[in-house]
Amino acid sequence: MTSILVTGGAGFIGSNYVRGLAASRPELTVVNVDALTYSGNLENLAGVLDTPRHRFIRADIADAQALERALAGIEFDQVVHFAAESHVDRSIEDAGAFLRTNVLGTQVLIDLARRRGVKRFVHVSTDEVYGALGATGLFSESTPLAPNSPYAASKAASDLLVRAAIHTHGFPALITRCSNNYGPYQFPEKLIPLMVSNALEGKPLPVYGDGMQVRDWIHVDDHCAGIECVRERGRIGEVYNLGGGNERANIEVVRGILAATGKPESLIKYVADRPGHDRRYAIDASKAKAELGWSPTVGFEEGLRRTLAWYVDNREWWSRIKSGVYRDYYARHYAHRVGEEAS
């Protein structure tokens, strides 16, 4: 029986991935390692937490000794590495945790995986390592790395550490670089869940700058399916871009959310732009499509409708988050932006 070590499996994408495996892969067992930082939440694992094929272990991937102790005697053949600090705005405020988890933590995992002789290591990365696009063009796997935020730079550094391990040690790793995800259990600091939850609460929707920045949206189920294709069939040593092919300007997304929730556009509040804000991301996923037979299946309008319904039905989940320590970050971050409001 194949056993997969999943890191960051209590976060947004990791928990969707683990739930998907539990539903569709009876032949697999999962060891889920997560430090439960502000964005990790055991509630995200409802339905899988206390099941025989899933074992949760709280551990910090950047603490080599503690991780080794936590995994002593536990066997796994493959690794899917999601654990990271993931929010660009927080990296602008303080990059420390990003370097620790994303850079050091990835090297710790590579070392551990090498000692354990794992057969496949999937490193989950991001399109942000490529920097920003102008009005045209797409990121391909050969686009040079040009990260613009501390978050993106820390992810690019982790990609390079994985690359170096492949080159130097013949480490059996693969890298995925995906565009913006949305779907259930996404922490409400990210654009879509923040705007949906603020709209449902009748609060202002803070749009950075002119709102014309473009992101290429992909439903989290499609991203997880892509990771599974890469884990099962990807060629070791290769990078695979994954993207939804759904380019939308932020303001279009925000207007769509207001229309769908029946809230007025007067809730839109233009605020100071994110420093160094990347203008446009868009993915060329033709390599994954041609080699692995993967394709995204969820259209953006349908995916957004389903996501909205999830946030309506799971108000308790996000209300609890928004009333906890996250409230302090929110107050600090947006008070400062409104003070510097865009004209």
> Which residue in 17, 130, 151, 182 is the catalytic one?
151
Contact between residue 139 and residue 189 where contact means Cβ atoms under 8 Å apart: no
Asked if 208 interacts with ligand DAU (CB under 6 A), we say yes
Amino acid, res. 252: E
**Residue 217 binds: one of ligand NAD, ligand DAU, none (C-beta under 5 to 8 A by kind):** none
Asked if 191 interacts with ligand DAU (CB under 6 A), we say yes
Encoded one letter per residue, x for contact with ligand NAD by CB under 6 A and - for no contact, window 86-115 reads x--------------x---x----------
Asked if 158 interacts with ligand DAU (CB under 6 A), we say no
User: Is 311 a residue of the active site?
Assistant: no
E strands, the chain, where? 2-7, 28-34, 54-58, 78-81, 120-126, 173-178, 181-182, 205-208, 214-216, 218-219, 239-242, 247-249, 268-271
Asked if 311 interacts with ligand DAU (CB under 6 A), we say no
**Residue 14 binds: one of ligand NAD, ligand DAU, none (C-beta under 5 to 8 A by kind):** ligand NAD
120: left (phi over 0), alpha (psi -120 to 50) or beta: beta
Distance, in Å, from the CA atom of 44 to the CA atom of 185, rounded to the nearest integer, reads 6
Q: Which of 32, 41, 213, 241 binds ligand DAU (CB under 6 A)?
A: 213
User: Is 151 a residue of the active site?
Assistant: yes
Q: Which of 180, 197, 241, 250 binds ligand NAD (CB under 6 A)?
A: 180
Span interacting with ligand DAU, options 101-109, 207-215, 224-232, 257-265, rule CB under 6 A: 207-215
Asked if 224 interacts with ligand NAD (CB under 6 A), we say no
Q: Which is nearer to ligand DAU, 72 or 325 (CB)?
A: 325
Residue 248: other Cβ atoms inside 10 A: 18
276: left (phi over 0), alpha (psi -120 to 50) or beta: left
**Residue 78 binds: one of ligand DAU, ligand NAD, none (C-beta under 5 to 8 A by kind):** none
Which among 37, 177, 110 has a CA at the least distance from the CA of 9?
A: 37
Distance, in Å, from the CA atom of 183 to the CA atom of 129, rounded to the nearest integer, reads 22
Encoded one letter per residue, x for contact with ligand DAU by CB under 6 A and - for no contact, window 70-109 reads ----------------xxx---------------------
Asked if 194 interacts with ligand DAU (CB under 6 A), we say yes
User: Is 334 a residue of the active site?
Assistant: no
Distance, in Å, from the CA atom of 105 to the CA atom of 232, rounded to the nearest integer, reads 24
Q: Which of 61, 195, 267, 321 binds ligand NAD (CB under 6 A)?
A: 61
Distances in whole angstroms, Cα of residue 248 to Cα of each of 39, 43, 211, 251, 277: 25, 30, 10, 8, 16
| Minimum CB–partner distance for residue 271 and ligand DAU (Å) | 7
At 29, list the tokens: 């067992």
Q: What does the DSSP 8-state code read for residue 267?
A: G
Which among 166, 104, 98, 168 has a CA at the least distance from the CA of 126?
A: 98
Which among 250, 300, 253 has a CA at the least distance from the CA of 277?
A: 250
Q: Which residues are catalytic?
A: 127-128, 151
Residues that bind ligand DAU (CB under 6 A): 86-88, 126-128, 179-180, 190-191, 194, 206-208, 213, 215, 250, 274, 281
Site of interaction with ligand NAD (CB under 6 A): 7-8, 10-14, 34-37, 39-40, 60-62, 82-86, 101, 105, 124, 126, 155, 178, 180-181, 187
